[in-house]
Homo-oligomer: A and B are copies of this chain.
Amino acid sequence: MLRIRADEVFSTIKDILLSRGLSPDKAEILSQIVYGNTLDGVYTHGINRFPRIVSNIETGVLDVNAELEKVSSCGVIETYDGHFGIGPVNAYRAVQRAVEIAHDKGTGIVALAHNNHWLRGSTYGLYAADNGCIAIAWSNTKPNMMPWGSSELRIGNNPLVISVPSDDGIHFVFDAAMSQFSYGKLEEYRLRGEMLPVDGGFDDEWHLTKDPCAIERNSSVIPFGFWKGTSLSIALDLVAVVLSNGFSVMDVGREGEERGLSQVFLVIDPSKISDGESIRKNTRKVLDSITSCSTRDGENLRYAGERLAAARKDNLANGIPVHESVWNTVLGLAGRVF
């Protein structure tokens, strides 16, 4: 594992994107997002995924020239068409706009149709939190899960993000797909030769199993909470589709590639209805009730998002850990050799 200086990772990514025809502002936004996810230690949605993003740009799955188009609005809600543009760029502009409306009117909602994969939901939750706002945001996906009780791939793992700003900058950010495990996580366990800690899908005899290989072989990841995650996934798809007038999970499935996703960014600025001291106190009392809770191993619990700051600090100080093969691929895309 190499450790590459953070600024070198950023500039390399940005150079590659500029060379692939992205406008300077789009290249800047997308680089910041890929770089930020990498800094946060979420490599699967950062540097490790970057070669695939570039490939999607080259093959036209992502239209680098597409711009968000406003379709309708009423009060604090606005709907946009993403025209199959660069998913994270469109999503970033959508949450920016939702935050802008919230700063003005207390609440802002942007529903976005025909976008592409937003990469990592936390990006948008953290953006809102950095701007003092609460966010609830989600995306649908291609049909990659079976509803509980069925063996047809009919629902998405539709990631859901809920973020709340903390005054110390270590924001709460819940960011979860509707599957109990991602396929990326299954791969990690398989490569380590380990079983999952809890059941994650079905084996060949259709029994619940902790065996990552069996689940991968059968494409049988289960919704988290079984029937509960099933219905939550359907709920998120339904609301996103009705608000955005965009593709449903099953529509996305008919596209071949996973493209044209429907997304919702719901942002509230709590400072419009409560004073700063109350907000601070209320946030702290909930977060402290978690961090003061001991685990059965005698450690302290952490809240969602708490680990990101430590990863960021370490990566900034010591360089970003990158697999040599990944870095060689990235350098190749930049027309350089390692």
Contact = CB atoms under 8 A, between A and B. Distances in A.
A77 to B, nearest CB: 5
Contacts of A106: 74-77
Interface in A175-210: 176, 180, 198-199, 206, 208
Interface magnitude class on chain A:
35 or more
B238 A287 contact: yes
A141 to B, nearest CB: 14
Interface stretch (A16-24, A224-232, A314-322, A325-333): A224-232
Contacts of A289: 154, 248-250
Interface string A264-277: 00101010111000
Contacts of A225: 176, 180, 224-225, 228-229
Given A270-B243, A279-B242, A285 B77 contact: no
A162 B303 contact: no
Contact of A134 (B226, B242, B296): B242
Interface in A84-136: 105-107, 109, 111, 134, 136
Number of copies: 2
Nearest to A172: B238
Question: From DSSP, what is the main secondary structure of chain A's interface residues?
Answer: mixed
A290 interface: yes
Interface string A10-40: 0000000000000000000000000000000
Interface stretch (A1-9, A49-57, A58-66, A145-153): A145-153
A231 B79 CA distance: 29
Contacts of A75: 75-76, 105-107, 272
Contacts of A241: 282-283, 285-286
9 contacts: A72-B274, A75-B107, A75-B272, A76-B76, A134-B243, A154-B290, A172-B238, A174-B235, A266-B266
